[in-house]
DNA sequence: ACAAAGTTAGTTAATATTAACAAACAAACA
DNA sequence: TGTTTGTTTGTTAATATTAACTAACTTTGT
């Protein structure tokens, strides 16, 4: 569990990342924004890496929660994938900084601990979606003539691309509709329509 | 045009980016690798940003070349998209550092000039692919019941995701086959099969 | 002889982190 | 009850390291 200050540090970090990018997340900026001195940060976190690890953990567990909810759900696989789509999207909308975090692998490249965590999160997400695709194919909802691996790459890649575009150009347009449209396109593409 | 030294600086930069990431591209590393002193670098480039701009320009023009080739080509649109897929992939294989560059938007976020260039490149690529999709739909080769914008997001997103996975996990596996399989999946999905 | 390309030896600004100490409060105890 | 002791959370000042970049001088090639 996090203390109030620890939570504040994490929240403020996400704010900073959101507004000026991960590069701007320095202890100095962090301390200034919170209104305490730099060394005070170290009363609550051993070092900067452990702050970042906490952020990634938060990210990981919020994703896990979403997947768990979908596993229990009685919906059909395609609908569950759609929920994950929307769920991720809601998360991004509520907390735009997560977008920066998700695309920050390159920055963590010199920190093995962080890179490992990122790889772990990506891998788990991939497998969760893939499991749903496989299930959808088994139940005849998704076209079984395609390798589930490639369908998963297409699904996740599309979502990421959408988010990236949103971050780079669109900026606060009709994002919810965009996601709906994108997913409905994907759905029609991969659905099993042997009528 | 670039002098020999300038070219060497660019090449070595790409080598460094490739092996230890963009974060590792410092003037010190660059000079050491080339075998000259740090200030000598400044005899050939005004500053670090201009080196990075040159790299992005190289990236941009090599992409442009590829698109130009495809425009002249007599192939059908889907085949041309496939060529672009393979072309990009060849580029990545020949020069893995480009992968790092392409995913480095987050790092350039505090450098408006660089960020603008990245946005420009992404935008042009997007529109080039989209034009091919539209043409494919007009010629009845691609299913016209889908918004070309979303199909383009799916196509580019998949390619990027594939590359990302390649960078993160697969590492020197059967990459050429993977690209072939991925594209053939996409092709089957979006093809117009009203037979 | 002169311009291009290199060197050595610096500068400035940032960075994460540590050392040493202080105020506020709580717990323990006489 | 009042004093001692410890803990938490903060401070200021300093640290080591690294970044990009510069000034002034030397070498090299034509």
What is the average pLDDT across A144-155? 97
B116 and B28 within one domain? no
How far apart are the C-alpha atoms of B81 and B78, rounded to whole Å? 5
- pLDDT tens profile A33-89: 999 999 999 999 999 999 999 999 988 888 888 888 888 888 899 999 999 888 888
Residue A195 is assigned to a structural domain of this protein: no
Residue B166 is assigned to a structural domain of this protein: yes
Residue B178 is assigned to a structural domain of this protein: yes
- pLDDT tens profile B18-30: 888 888 999 999 9
Reference B22, options B58, B56, B60; nearest CA is: B56
Residue B37, Ramachandran bin (φ over 0: left; ψ between -120 and 50: alpha; else beta): beta
B105 and B34 within one domain? no
B26: which nucleotide lies closest, measuring CA to C1'? Answer: D19
Q: What is the pLDDT of residue A189?
A: 96
Residue B26 Cβ < 7 Å to strand D:
yes
Residue B195 is assigned to a structural domain of this protein: no
Question: Within 10 Å of residue B28's Cβ, how many Cβ atoms?
Answer: 10
**B104:A109 CB<8 A:** no
Q: B-contacting residues of A 107-136, CB under 8 Å?
A: 107, 109-110, 119, 122-123, 126
Mean pLDDT (chain A, rounded)? 89
Contact indicator for B77, B132 with CB cutoff of 8 Å: yes
Q: What is the pLDDT of residue B67?
A: 83
B130 and B181 within one domain? yes
B21 and B89 within one domain? no
- pLDDT tens profile A85-108: 888 888 877 777 777 777 777 778
Residue of B64 and A138 predicted with greater confidence: A138
**Residue A68 burial class via C-beta count within 10 angstroms: exposed 0-12, middle 13-18, buried 19 and up:** exposed
Q: Give just the sign of the alpha carbon dihedral A44, A49, A53, A55.
A: positive
Helix (H) or strand (E) holding A182: helix A175-190
- pLDDT tens profile B149-176: 999 999 999 999 998 888 777 566 667 8
- Spanning CA of B6 to C1' of C8, the rounded length in angstroms is 23
Q: What is the pLDDT of residue B171?
A: 62
Long-range contacts of A3-6, Cβ-Cβ distance < 8 Å, separation of 24 or more: A3/A44, A5/A43, A5/A44, A6/A44, A6/A45, A6/A54
Residue of B163 and A154 predicted with greater confidence: A154
Q: What is the pLDDT of residue B195?
A: 42
B60 and B38 within one domain? no
**B151:A123 CB<8 A:** no
B7 and B95 within one domain? no
Domain at A129, CATH number: 1.10.357.10
Residue B191 Cβ < 7 Å to strand C:
no
Domain at B13, CATH number: 1.10.10.60
- pLDDT tens profile A166-183: 877 756 666 788 899 999
A37 and A76 within one domain? no
B79 and B2 within one domain? no
- pLDDT tens profile B111-149: 889 988 988 999 999 999 999 999 999 999 999 999 999
Q: What is the pLDDT of residue A36?
A: 97
- Structural domain containing residue B27: 1-45
> How many residues comprise chain A?
195
B90 and B114 within one domain? yes
How far apart are the C-alpha atoms of A36 and A15, rounded to whole Å? 16
Residue B41, Ramachandran bin (φ over 0: left; ψ between -120 and 50: alpha; else beta): alpha
B90 and B149 within one domain? yes
Structural domain count of chain B: 2
Specify the residue for token string 């505090």: B110
Residue A159 is assigned to a structural domain of this protein: yes
* pLDDT tier, A195 (very low <50, low <70, confident <90, very high otherwise): very low
How far apart are the C-alpha atoms of A30 and B110, rounded to whole Å? 17
Say whether residue B26 is in contact with chain A using an 8 A CB cutoff: no
A84 and A11 within one domain? no
Contact indicator for B33, B15 with CB cutoff of 8 Å: yes
Q: What is the pLDDT of residue B10?
A: 95
Which of B 40-59 have CB under 7 A of nucleic chain C? 40, 43-44
Q: What percent of chain B has pLDDT over 70?
A: 96
B143 and B86 within one domain? yes
What residues of B are in contact with residue A109 (Cβ under 8 Å)?
20-21, 23
Nearest-Cα residue of chain B relative to residue A22: B106
């Amino acid at each position: 569990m996090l203390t109030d200050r620890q939570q504040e540090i994490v929240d403020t970090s996400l704010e900073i990342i959101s507004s000026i990018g991960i590069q701007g997340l320095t202890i100095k900026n962090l301390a200034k924004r919170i209104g305490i001195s730099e060394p005070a940060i170290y009363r609550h976190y051993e070092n900067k890496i452990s702050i970042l690890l906490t952020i990634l953990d938060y990210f990981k567990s919020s994703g896990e929660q979403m997947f768990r909810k979908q596993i229990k759900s009685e919906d059909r696989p395609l609908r569950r994938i759609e929920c994950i789509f929307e769920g991720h999207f809601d998360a991004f909308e509520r907390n735009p900084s997560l977008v920066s975090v998700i695309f920050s692998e390159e920055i963590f490249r010199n920190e093995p601990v962080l890179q490992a965590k990122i790889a772990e999160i990506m891998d788990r997400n991939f497998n969760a979606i893939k499991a749903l695709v496989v299930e959808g194919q088994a139940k005849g909802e998704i076209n079984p003539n395609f390798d589930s691996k490639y369908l998963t790459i297409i699904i996740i890649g599309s979502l990421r691309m959408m988010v990236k575009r949103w971050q780079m150009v669109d900026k606060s347009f009709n994002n919810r509709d965009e996601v709906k449209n994108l997913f409905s396109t994907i759905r029609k593409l991969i659905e099993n329509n042997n009528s």
